[in-house]
Amino acid sequence: MATQVQDILDAAFGKSTKNKAGQIATAATELLGVVKRALYRYFAVIARTNPWMIATEATVGFAAGGWARPTAAQMILRIEETDGTEVVVVPLTDKIAEASLPALYRLGRTFFPAGNANDPTSGDLDFIYARFPTAPTLLTDSIDALWPEEFNECLIHDLALYLATKDGRNDELPGLESEREAWEALLIQFCEHETSNERRRFGIRDRFIAPTKVPA
């Protein structure tokens, strides 16, 4: 059975005998918002460590001179023409950076043709991207299906920390923070090694500079 928001609340309240349901914070609004923010935070952690774990695809039609960034896109991973040909992204300040390839540049939340001979100028493009979580709106809503439920303790400890902080229980904060950091570290480690048998024609893996988290 999928984890519901209420399950996270119940587990968080269980972290301290001083937690009183309905007294410290309003569950259906305030605490629901805490869970939502925690999901956004951990999806960002996953995106910076292993974005393919939360990846999806959307077909975007040409409109107003370009292709609008999918609203759920947290990190664009690849853009393709409908036949699978990759469309690269180049800077606005260097539109000929990949003049021999289909290319786009981005401005605001729209991708535009770079102006070279092979660039797409109409039709559909497929955007592959790491997405934001689906935000829960009710306590009975299930947590996003792409969230690895084995690490629910990350969400639970975020909420438990919020409750202890709001209730002024500073003596509980170090222990809760330590537990949250330990579970977040386990989540990151899982993201780094979750699929180790992937085969590639080339040995180079997708990487980026991330001073706060180590990318896969």
In a domain, 84, yes or no: yes
pLDDT at 216: 47
Mean pLDDT value across residues 113-127: 98
In a domain, 214, yes or no: no
Q: Based on the fold, state whether residues 140 and 45 are members of the same structural domain.
A: yes
pLDDT in tens, 159-208: 999 999 999 999 999 999 999 999 999 999 999 999 988 888 876 666 55
Q: Based on the fold, state whether residues 81 and 101 are members of the same structural domain.
A: yes
Q: Based on the fold, state whether residues 30 and 89 are members of the same structural domain.
A: no
In a domain, 124, yes or no: yes
pLDDT in tens, 43-65: 999 999 999 999 999 999 999 99
Number of domains in the chain: 2
Domain span holding position 87: 54-130
Q: Based on the fold, state whether residues 142 and 189 are members of the same structural domain.
A: yes
* Final residue belonging to a domain, choices 130, 145, 162: 130
Q: Based on the fold, state whether residues 84 and 110 are members of the same structural domain.
A: yes
End-to-end CA gap in the chain: 30
In a domain, 94, yes or no: yes
pLDDT at 199: 85
In a domain, 176, yes or no: yes
Q: Based on the fold, state whether residues 162 and 114 are members of the same structural domain.
A: no
Which of 20-29, 38-47, 169-178 comes out lowest in average pLDDT? 20-29
Q: Based on the fold, state whether residues 126 and 58 are members of the same structural domain.
A: yes
Mean pLDDT value across residues 1-29: 94
100, two tokens: 């021999």
Q: Based on the fold, state whether residues 149 and 116 are members of the same structural domain.
A: no
Mean pLDDT of the chain: 94
pLDDT at 209: 53
pLDDT at 21: 85
What pLDDT band is residue 213 in, cutting at 50, 70 and 90? low
In a domain, 199, yes or no: no
**CA atoms of 54 and 41, how far apart (whole Å):** 13
pLDDT at 201: 83
In a domain, 198, yes or no: no
* Final residue belonging to a domain, choices 96, 130, 164: 130
* Final residue belonging to a domain, choices 130, 150, 167: 130
In a domain, 179, yes or no: yes
